[in-house]
Structure 1
Amino acid sequence: MDGSGFRFGCLALIGGLLLTGVAQAQTGRSDDKPKAEAPAPSRWGETRKRALDIGAQPVRDVGVMRREAPAILEQALADPYSLKGLKTCTQLAAEVRRLNEALGADFIVGNEVKESRVGKLAEAGGKTVINSIIPFRGLVREISGAAPAERHLDAALDAGLARRGFLRGVHYKQGCKTKF
């Protein structure tokens, strides 16, 4: 094995260990301690999703895999303030629910954000190791088209957030009582 292959193997091993640390830190589970109760499925699912997302970053960097914006976010990007086809309270609420599915839950006043410092440190370490696998990463991302694709996805997300806020305002202004 040449020097670069050895370094890649070491980095992959360290990345795997860090990702395992993310999973354990986020779920509070360690294999050498007996667990009193099973972690909540949604919390483990979120940790697993983050770990897989971190591990897949090099594949996205070289343009092999891309995250596509959902159709509703592409529509929002085209015209975030359109009310075409949204005349009734029910239609407005349905559109906000579709946006919620694509964007996740909306901001709730007074909601407390809970996060694990250990988990965030492990996640940052995992990202650092995984992202160091590709030399000249920024240039590779531009050439492969990964950076422009990510900028497009970010713009679609921003447009979706703007559209959801706009539609919630219209819903409120019309005096609608339907739930999102």
Structure 2
Amino acid sequence: MSTRTRALIAALALLPLAQPALAQGDSKPITSKDPSALDIAKTPVTDLNLDSKEIPEVLTRAVKQPYDLTGLNSCAAIGRSVQEIFAAIGPDVDIPKEERDRISAGRVAKWIVSSFIPFRGLIREISGANDREREVRAAIQAGMTRRGFLKGVGASRGCDYPAAPATAEDIAAIEAELDRRDTEEKNGDKDTKVERGEEQGDRTSAGVPIVSQPVVQGQI
């Protein structure tokens, strides 16, 4: 395994697995796989009782200074900044959509819903709810802009992913890591079922779990 691949997998190791992320509200990106980061939130934040204080700090900084390079003197520093934005808005478009969806699975933010209600835009205009929604959208756009800028700077300095756009080698490594995680998660679920006596072989034909009774010496 090359040094580049090891570094990539180390970066991926910082990302939460899909299922545990469901219980980690603070770690969820403010965009979801459906709609994607490119679609950006379609639901007004006021409908979900949220305010601008809940916009991640990394995005508020991006709004104020999207092209700031203070303290980013190394590829590692750039990579960390890119990862912070990733945690806020999800994977970048340099990763194929299928892999982006696998990374984002289960990390749906609480202020995003998957459907769009017709004519809601008109209602928002009448109610005056657009100001806060625009603030959220601007924060997401600023994050995407800053991430692209940082990767461009990283690429010009010869940095590796995530401090630069992903190459075919990086994507292959990401796919392999996601496959490994999927296998690990499936094996973990299987082990849990075995511990609970929930394997199919431990059930009756009606699906009722079979519980073995302890044998006590001397009893008939």
The aligned residue for residue 75 of structure 2 is: 89
Give the alignment partner of residue 138 of structure 2, picking from 155, 158, 175: 155
In the TM superposition, structure 1's runs of 4+ consecutive aligned residues that sit over 6 Å from their partners are none
The aligned residue for residue 12 of structure 1 is: none
Map 1:12-91 to 2 at 5 A.
Answer: 41=19, 60-61=46-47, 64-66=49-51, 68-91=54-77
Greater helix fraction, Structure 1 or Structure 2: 1
The aligned residue for residue 84 of structure 2 is: 98
TM-score (norm 2): 0.42
| Cα distance, 1:101–1:58 mapped onto 2, change above 3 Å | closer
The answer to whether 1:128 aligns with 2:117 is yes
1:42-93, Cα deviation, whole Å (9 max, x unpaired): 9x999xx98xxxxxx68824x9433532100010100101101111111011
The aligned residue for residue 155 of structure 2 is: 172
SS class of match (1:128): coil
Q: Greater CA deviation, 68-77 or 102-111?
A: 102-111
Q: How far apart in 2 are the matches of 1:174 and 1:69? A: 31
For structure 2, the 5+ residue unaligned runs are: 1-17, 33-42, 102-113, 164-220
TM-score (norm 1): 0.50
| Cα distance, 1:59–1:110 mapped onto 2, change above 3 Å | closer
Structure with bigger RCO (C-alpha 8 Å, 6+ apart)? 1
| Cα distance, 1:152–1:90 mapped onto 2, change above 3 Å | same
State the AA in 1 paired with 2:135. Answer: H
1:133-160, Cα deviation, whole Å (9 max, x unpaired): xx944211x1xxx311111111111111
Given that 2:82 and 2:150 are in contact with CA atoms closer than 8 Å, whether structure 1 keeps it comes out as yes
State the AA in 1 paired with 2:56. Answer: P
| Cα distance, 1:58–1:162 mapped onto 2, change above 3 Å | closer
Q: How far apart in 2 are the matches of 1:71 and 1:78? A: 11
Given that 2:45 and 2:132 are in contact with CA atoms closer than 8 Å, whether structure 1 keeps it comes out as no
Q: How far apart in 2 are the matches of 1:87 and 1:159? A: 21
The offset of 1:41, in angstroms, is 4.9
| Cα distance, 1:139–1:107 mapped onto 2, change above 3 Å | same
Aligned identity (percent) is 31
For structure 1, the 5+ residue unaligned runs are: 1-39, 51-56, 115-122
